[in-house]
């Protein structure tokens, strides 16, 4: 692991305060990031390379708008066959490298009618449907989990208001995948209050909060969820529509990185 040891030395010298995870097709949002060193996931203890198209699988350190930061290009998913401790491995690594804030992004399906392809949503809480008894748990109560910092949600909303835009702060439903949800499942999620749906983020956010990191998360809506948009879903559409929001997302990520710690 000599490559990672060298990377860790560079990171220690820069002392990054924030880590950003870029989801499917969102690599263009890091245009303001100036890389100083990078290492592939496979060279990092506890991480494995992603197998999903659109996830680069590298860990980089540098400056984002002059602020030292870590950048995680891509992620691995439970549906790729990995246990949860591997899925959240980037969180552990970021914390060990000194990050105090984790900013997660993902590509998501829009359930809320206000969310069209290219829209952004700040995540205020999530529904975790990641096990065989998940729906039973929702039936017992609200079921939402909220490891996301209210202060950072307000930073995002204030940034968007300054640009004359409103940013929805909504509930994200996390499912295991790899198949997209059925229209019936989307109707059930809507009835539970979900605004967007995807296959990541929830466990990463919880793992970061458990380690004392301040957490923010943003969904980039890449398609209407099944049964809402009227067309079949596919991963190519996700990658294409993710590009619609990268400039706006990049500016929003910059605001989060610069926010006081």
Catalytic residue numbers? 24, 55, 77, 79-80, 107, 199-200, 223, 235
**Of 73, 110, 113, nearest in space to 237 by CA:** 110
**Is 146 flagged in the annotation as binding?**
no
Residue 245 annotated as binding site:
no
Kind of pairing between the strands at 67-73 and 18-22: parallel
Q: Where are the beta strands (DSSP E) in 99-235?
A: 101-110, 120-129, 144-145, 168-175, 196-198, 214-224
The answer to whether 82 is annotated as binding is no
Cα–Cα distance measured from residue 70 to residue 58, given in angstroms and rounded to the nearest whole number? 11
d(Cα 246, Cα 137) in Å, to the nearest integer? Answer: 35
Is 136 one of the annotated binding-site residues? Answer: no
Radius of gyration from C-alpha coordinates of the chain: 17
What are the backbone dihedrals phi and psi of residue 22, each rounded to the nearest 5 degrees, phi first? Answer: -100, 125
Half-sphere exposure of 196 (CA within 13 A, CB side): 35
Rounded CA separation 139/127 (Å):
12
Residues constituting the chain:
261
Residue 248 marked as a ligand binder: no
Answer for the pair 213, 95: CB distance below 8 angstroms, yes or no.
yes
Q: Does 219 show up as a binding residue in the annotation?
A: no
* CA atoms of 198 and 182, how far apart (whole Å): 13
16 CB burial (10 A radius; 0-12, 13-18, 19+): buried
Q: Which residues are annotated as a binding site for phosphate?
A: 24, 55, 75-77, 107, 200
Q: Which residues are annotated as a binding site for a purine D-ribonucleoside?
A: 181, 223
Q: Which residues are annotated as a binding site?
A: 24, 55, 75-77, 107, 181, 200, 223
């Amino acid at each position: 692991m000599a490559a990672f040891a060298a990377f860790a030395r560079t990171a220690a010298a820069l002392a990054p305060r924030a880590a950003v995870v870029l989801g499917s097709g969102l690599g263009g949002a890091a245009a303001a990031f100036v890389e100083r060193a990078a290492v592939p996931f496979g060279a990092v203890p506890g991480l494995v390379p992603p197998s999903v198209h659109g996830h680069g699988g590298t860990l980089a350190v540098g400056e984002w708008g002059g602020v030292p930061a870590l950048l995680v290009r891509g992620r691995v998913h439970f549906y790729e066959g990995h246990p949860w401790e591997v899925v959240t491995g980037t969180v552990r690594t970021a914390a060990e490298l000194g990050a105090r804030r984790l900013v997660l992004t993902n590509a998501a399906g829009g359930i809320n009618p206000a969310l069209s392809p290219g829209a952004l949503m700040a995540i205020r809480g999530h529904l975790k449907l990641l096990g065989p008894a998940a729906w039973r748990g929702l039936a017992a109560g609200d079921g939402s989990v909220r490891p996301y910092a209210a202060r950072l949600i307000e930073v995002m909303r204030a940034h968007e208001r300054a640009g004359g835009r409103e940013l929805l702060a909504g509930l994200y439903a996390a499912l295991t995948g790899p198949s997209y949800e059925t229209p019936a499942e989307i109707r059930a999620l809507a009835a539970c209050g979900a605004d967007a749906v995807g296959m990541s983020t929830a466990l990463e956010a919880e793992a970061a909060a458990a380690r004392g990191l301040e957490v923010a998360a943003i969904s980039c809506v890449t398609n209407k969820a099944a049964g809402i948009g009227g067309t079949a879903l596919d991963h190519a559409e996700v990658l294409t529509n993710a590009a619609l929001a990268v400039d706006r997302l990049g500016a929003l990520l910059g605001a989060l990185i610069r926010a006081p710690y």
